[in-house]
Amino acid sequence: MHQHADFDGRHGALTVGSNHVRFSLWAPDAQTVSVVTSKGLSMSMLSHSDGWFSLETQCAVGTHYKYLVDNEFEVPDPASRFRSEDVQGYSVVVDQDAYNWRCRNWKGRPWTEAIIYELHVGLMGGYSAVKSSLPRLADLGVTAIELMPVAQFPGERNWGYDGVLPYAPQCSYGRPEELKSLIDAAHGLGMAVILDVVYNHFGPDGNFLHTYAKQFFQSDKKTPWGDAIDYSRPEVRNFFIDSALMWLLDYRFDGLRLDAVHAIDDPTFLEEFSQRVKAGCGEDREIWLVLENEHNEARRLENGFNAQWNDDGHNTLHVLLTGETDAYYADFAGASTHKLARMLSEGFVYQGEVTRNGQQRGESSGHLTPDSFVLFLQNHDQIGNRAMGERLAHICHPPALRAATALLLLSPMIPLIFMGDEWAADEPFMFFTDFHDELAAKVCEGRRGEFADFAAFADEQQRERVPDPNALSTFETSKPAFNDAYQEIGESTHSVWLSFYRQLLQIRHNDIIPRLHGCKAIGAEVLADKAVTARWLMGDDKILRIDLNLSHVSLGIEVDPTALLLFSSFPKDEIQHRFLPPFTALVTLEQAA
């Protein structure tokens, strides 16, 4: 067995000095590994302990390469920094230091200033097209964009959650330098950039790890995507942690949203992940780490992670706005108004209670600060996982949606806007992929089968109406008319919604964000069915109060005559009469007693 004194166990092809590259692959099931280039050159790699192979050699940036395992099969570099084409193409050597950053002194923004805009790069037209849209989003009041996953996936189009190469930015969106230019431009406008990363599974096409590194997985533990990833192995932990550090250091992303961490079957990985990522980025940078976690583990938010996507908040508001109670919404159907009050005062609705499936869910969260929760009315899941991808603007009463939007953008929780929300986009957002042959048929069948618990799609004939995820038309129909909406003038529906969002975000910048540090909830009460009042003690000892009425009846309320009115969705004279009209919101600042 050959040893290499300088080997440090970092995955992938890294430039070392001038015109040299070090290739490293963890392949514990392989006997031999070679680097083969698109020009026919083959170079044997040295073997190391614990299944590692490496080679340091003279090599030009831009070289196209694969690994030849046991002289039998060629595989992509699982830590490719870029791909020449799709997941079956060659990996490409990248010099991460070549890009000339303009905003070199950018250190990020405090988490309390986050106003997040989630978008899909492919639907927006690629990295450069997103870059061109940034000034409009900054003018709207957005302080951070969140990119749905961009790790290389099979085909030209995908939500991104079928990625198989977590180090490589999707090549159909543009080149690495274009992604860096997008992030650089965002920083120049004062905007942070978050990346959604998937470290809980690999997609179904293009992952070859099982052929030479079976120890990457636990065959005795299954997930919805197959064998569970074995996070107990340091090589596996380092694979994902180094991927995260690459996005944060080489691309200068400001934060990561970790997808479905409840599917990570290791209680210690997340703690190590947050510690090493933040240590690797240094104390002088603001790094945001956000979780998606069905388990509602409040302890994760006490140390290491800034916040969690609050699905409980969305689900409760969705039931109140639409009346839908199918499938997972059934857990929020009973006592929905009380659930809303609990969410506003304590964060999670489920804090150990039993769900409809008989399972305990959640931990006590009332001690957490409001900015520990990312609140949203829509996101990629909650629209795209509808059979037809309809948006709230098309399935609920517009005045009620306006009132709920005021709650979203003016509460002390961190607001997330999904692309198109701000102009009440007409276009749906549907689930789309670009698989082929047998896999495409299985994905389509599986997609339609997901709706068996929904009354509108109870029988097979009804489910046939669900669009085929692989059809190009499904992708094309989901493209939001971003440029058209932002160029409209006058009193069109889109312009009215844009003005409404701009008004609310201006209030958040002026009157909410400066008071968020040290904010804590001090209670929420049910006024009537579908109506609540909630209060928060802000950092300057003012009391933020939001009265929300999603019902069709007018309600009497007690109003502090000395309170500062921040927002009302109804005339001021009605406030003086102490009535909260149907489908309205009232936001005020009161003096603490």
Which residue pairs from 275-278 have beta carbons closer than 8 angstroms and sit at least 24 positions apart in sequence?
A: 275/304, 276/241, 276/245, 277/241, 277/244, 277/245, 277/248, 278/304
Gap between the Cα atoms of 336 and 332, Å rounded: 6
C-alpha neighbours within 13 Å on the C-beta side of residue 574:
14
- Helix axes of 311-322 and 336-346: crossing angle, nearest 10 degrees: 150
- Helix (H), strand (E) at residue 118: strand 116-119
Distance between first and last Cα of the chain = 75
Gap between the Cα atoms of 166 and 204, Å rounded: 14
Q: Which string of b and e fits 464-492 if b means at least 16 CB within 10 Å?
A: eebbbbbbeebbebbbbebeebbeeeeee
The closest alpha carbon to 465, from 479, 444, 443, belongs to 444
Cα 286 vs. chain centroid, distance in angstroms?
18
Cα 117 vs. chain centroid, distance in angstroms?
10
Gap between the Cα atoms of 180 and 251, Å rounded: 6
Distances from the Cα of 215 to the Cα of 150, 203, 212, angstroms: 26, 18, 9
C-alpha neighbours within 13 Å on the C-beta side of residue 35:
27
The closest alpha carbon to 17, from 72, 91, 95, 128, belongs to 95
Residue 169 has phi, psi (to 5 degrees) of: -65, 135
Please list the active-site residues: 259, 292
Residues with Cβ within 8 Å of residue 174, at least 6 apart in sequence: 126, 127, 128
Residue 12 has phi, psi (to 5 degrees) of: 100, -170
Gap between the Cα atoms of 438 and 156, Å rounded: 18
The closest alpha carbon to 195, from 153, 130, 254, 124, belongs to 254
Query: Helix, strand, or coil here: 398?
Result: helix
- Helix (H), strand (E) at residue 195: strand 192-197
Q: Residue 54: what residue type? A: S
Query: Helix, strand, or coil here: 192?
Result: strand
